[in-house]
Structure 1
Amino acid sequence: MIVDLALYLGGVLLVFGALFCLLAAVGVIRLPDLYTRMHAASKAGAVGGGLILLAVAVTCFDTGVFLRAIVGILFLLLTTPISAHLLARASYLTGYKPSESTHRDDLKTRLEQNRPA
């Protein structure tokens, strides 16, 4: 009974994780510039990968695999936002400008305020 419940829960988590990964892929293809693409890939990709690893943790009845899956989820949630932020900032500082449809550019005003006179 518990084994069947864990398998069904793992299947549901796997499907939702795959849908989030699909959403990230569609965002990378459809969005207009590097920054919005990176946002879609980092947010939906991290959630999708985390749900897939959680499905592995639920369906595998081995403690070692469970702990590795949980550590993988923590690693994804800690490193994905930081790396996306650093890549976006480096792209901006090297001259890659946002799309024309972008209304706010907070980094531009902040850099202009900190520029020496």
Structure 2
Amino acid sequence: MRHEPKPLARTRARQMRADPTTPEARLWRALRDRQLAGAKFRRQVPLRGYILDFVCFEAKLIIEVDGGQHGDNTRDIHRDALFRAEGFRILRFWNDEVLEHIDDLCRHILSELRNGGE
């Protein structure tokens, strides 16, 4: 069954796609157009009351790019548990990691895609 997001979530996700943070835009340039292992990533996807930064549904892989507001965030812990219970793997990167080590992050993501998280 296909999940239909609430109109407000859909609007917010659309706004976030139109005005990404610098780290999100940089990572998107590396993920888009099936550039990593042919994986189809989508960005700013509303799902289950949350907006996912990046998700590859085929690999069940969620990637989040976080700023300081996400440190020890209980909402993020709850959200991650919800998606892990559905079989998703979650990678979280800090903004500065994306800006300073994009090649290393892409290798890590590629490894997750190829190995299924093992």
TM-score higher than 0.5: no
TM-score by length of 1: 0.26
When normalised by structure 2's length, the TM-score is: 0.25
User: Structure 1 or 2: larger strand share?
Assistant: 2
